[in-house]
Amino acid sequence: MSKVFRRFDFRYFERFILPVLRIYRTAITGEINLVKCSAESPRPAIRAMENRGMLSGVSLGFFWSMLGFGTKSNANKEWMRDKTVSSYIEQAEVAIKKNKLKKAESLLEEALVVTKEVHAVGVTCVYDMLATLAFRQGDIEKAEKILIQVIDKLEEKGFSPTHNTVVNYSLKLARIYSAMGRDSLAESGFRNCLTTQKRKYSNGEKDEETTLLWLNVLFWYGKFLTVHKRYAEAKQCFESAYTLSADLKSIDSQQAMVMLYHLGEVSYVSGMEDEALKYLMNGVILGRAINSKDVPSYCAKIGLVYFQKGLYDEAQKWADKAKRSAMSSENKQVKKEAEELLKKIAKALKTPQKKLADPL
């Protein structure tokens, strides 16, 4: 029987497919997907910014390929199945927002029963959300199994191990291994993803999706290296990621701020205070331009760097800025840090400096 294109029905698209696409986009931009690398940022404000800021590089092209084409006789069945799956995903998203994680998990598992095939609408989104839910509930091993399962299903469907969608899930798996403390597997996963994306980019695959995924690999590998105090390597990863971001339309100022913060952090702990100040100042400039609530964190860090350099007046100025900004944005954590820094500065200013001995 010959295959035919399904007639495009905008009402169907608007009611059933568009909600799934919105949910899928939410998942890939990190608002649903909260699986974290163990290389945590030093401040809660920056951790929260990463969760809402850094993209995961999932293939939207693959999402649309899942809409698929079928024979005319099977079209109605597939459409009904797609509609049912999208309904389950919508209900699961509502349950997640209400923190009813068990209910969300049950709904997503029902969606998988309906699909049975990897090309059904939203099926990888379902696996992604299930892995996230497992992680949030502390079942990291289950999250690992889900990610391995979806990678196997994709490869069974004919997807190459170098396909962006497969690499994306491999990256998530590496992050899971990092969270589990299985550092050897985590590093192997990060490096495989890095090598794959770098090779594709070098061979001319410089589309938004491929480049964005490479940036994402660099970012998370950089965080992994940071927690293991391999600061020079981490700095290279963050620098490469930041350089790539300039050519990506999908990277906004908030996401660029996250990379600048990490560059400032690894520079600071490596003893390169001037470089740290450069990155953090740029972060402040970007943050002020978009009225970011995360600017106080940068001001506090700048104050700390100046304090380390012994420039107490500058340190006090930036600590004051951090405190005032934190009070305006009701950021209690940064306010507390700024106040502690101001106390250290006051103590340092009161401490008499030792005079040098007169030359003979």
Residue 182 lies in a domain: yes
Residues 73 and 163 in one domain: yes
**166 and 20 within one domain:** yes
- Confidence (pLDDT) at 109: 86
Say yes or no: 170 and 203 in one domain: yes
Higher pLDDT, 28 or 44: 44
Mark whether 64 and 104 lie in a shared domain.
yes
Q: Quickly state the pLDDT bin for 122 (edges 50, 70, 90).
A: low
208 inside domain: yes
193 and 277 fall within a common domain: no
Q: How many CB atoms lie within 10 A of CB 289?
A: 9
Q: Are residues 115 and 178 in the same domain?
A: yes
91 and 180 share one domain: yes
Q: Is the pLDDT confidence value at 113 over 70?
A: yes
Query: Is residue 134 domain-resident?
Result: yes
| Nearest C-alpha neighbor of 315 from the set 305, 330, 325 | 305
pLDDT score at 105: 87
Over the range 75-114, which residues count as b (16 or more CB within 10 Å of their CB) and which as e?
A: beebbebbbbbbbbbbbbbebbeeeebeebbebbebbbeb
Query: Is residue 305 a part of any domain in this protein?
Result: yes
Please check whether residues 220 and 280 belong to one and the same domain: no
CATH number at residue 304: 1.25.40.10
State what percent of residues in the chain have pLDDT above 90. 54
For the chain, what percent of residues have pLDDT higher than 70? 73
Average pLDDT over residues 243-248: 93
Overall average pLDDT of the 169-180 stretch: 95
Tell me, what's the pLDDT at 116? 65
Q: Are residues 101 and 223 in the same domain?
A: yes
Average of per-residue pLDDT across 270-280: 97
Compare 186 and 54 and report the one with higher pLDDT.
186
pLDDT exceeds 50 at position 9: no
Do 176 and 27 share a structural domain? yes
Of 46-50, 162-166, 188-192, the range with the lowest mean pLDDT is: 46-50
**Cα–Cα distance, 302 to 314 (Å, whole number):** 9
Q: Which of 164, 198, 229 is a domain's end point?
A: 229
- CA neighbor of 280 nearest in space, from 321, 251, 248: 321
Cβ–Cβ < 8 Å for 217, 58: no
Identify the residue whose tokens are 């695959």: 205
* Entry pTM: 0.76
Span of 108-117, 124-133, 158-167, 232-241 with lowest mean pLDDT: 108-117
- Give the chain's mean pLDDT: 80
- Please write down the long-range contacts of 345-353, taking CB distance under 8 Å and 24 or more positions apart: 345/307, 345/312, 345/315, 345/316, 345/319, 348/307, 348/312, 349/312
Does the pLDDT of residue 257 top 90, yes or no? yes
- Residue 77's pLDDT band, with cuts at 50, 70 and 90, is low
Phi-psi region of 99 (alpha: psi -120 to 50; beta: other; left: phi over 0): left
Residue with tokens 């899928």: 24
When pLDDT is cut at 50, 70 and 90, the band that residue 71 belongs to is: very low
313-324 residue pLDDT tens: 999 999 999 999
Name the least confident of 37-46, 69-78, 205-214. Answer: 37-46
C-beta separation of 52 from 255 below 8 A:
no
Cβ-based burial of 277 (10 A; exposed 0-12, middle 13-18, buried ≥19): buried
Q: For residues 314 and 227, give the distance between their C-alpha atoms in angstroms, rounded to a whole number.
A: 29
Asked, for residue 244, whether it belongs to a domain, the answer is no
Of 29 and 45, more confident:
45
- Rounded to an integer, what distance in angstroms lies between the CA atom of residue 137 and that of residue 164? 28
Together in a domain, 30 and 162: yes
Which stretch, 31-40, 138-147, 262-271, has highest mean pLDDT? 262-271
In terms of average pLDDT, the best of 34-43, 104-113, 289-298 is 289-298
In a domain, 131, yes or no: yes
**pLDDT at residue 137, rounded to an integer:** 86
Res 256 pLDDT > 70: yes
Q: What's the total number of domains in the chain?
A: 2
Tell whether 241 is covered by a domain.
no
The pLDDT of residue 356 = 39
Confirm whether 239 is domain-assigned. no
Query: Which of 194, 229, 264 corresponds to the end of one domain?
Result: 229
Residues 214, 260: one domain? no
pLDDT tens digits for range 145-162: 999 988 998 888 889 999
Q: Quote the domain boundaries for residue 343.
A: 252-348
Q: For residues 38 and 225, what is the distance between their CA atoms, to the nearest angstrom?
A: 10
Q: For the range 31-36, what are the long-range contacts, defined as Cβ-Cβ under 8 Å and sequence gap of 24 or more?
A: 32/93, 32/96, 32/128, 32/129, 32/132, 33/128, 33/129, 33/132, 33/172, 34/132, 34/135, 34/136, 35/131, 35/132, 35/135, 35/143, 35/172, 35/175, 35/176, 35/179, 36/175, 36/179
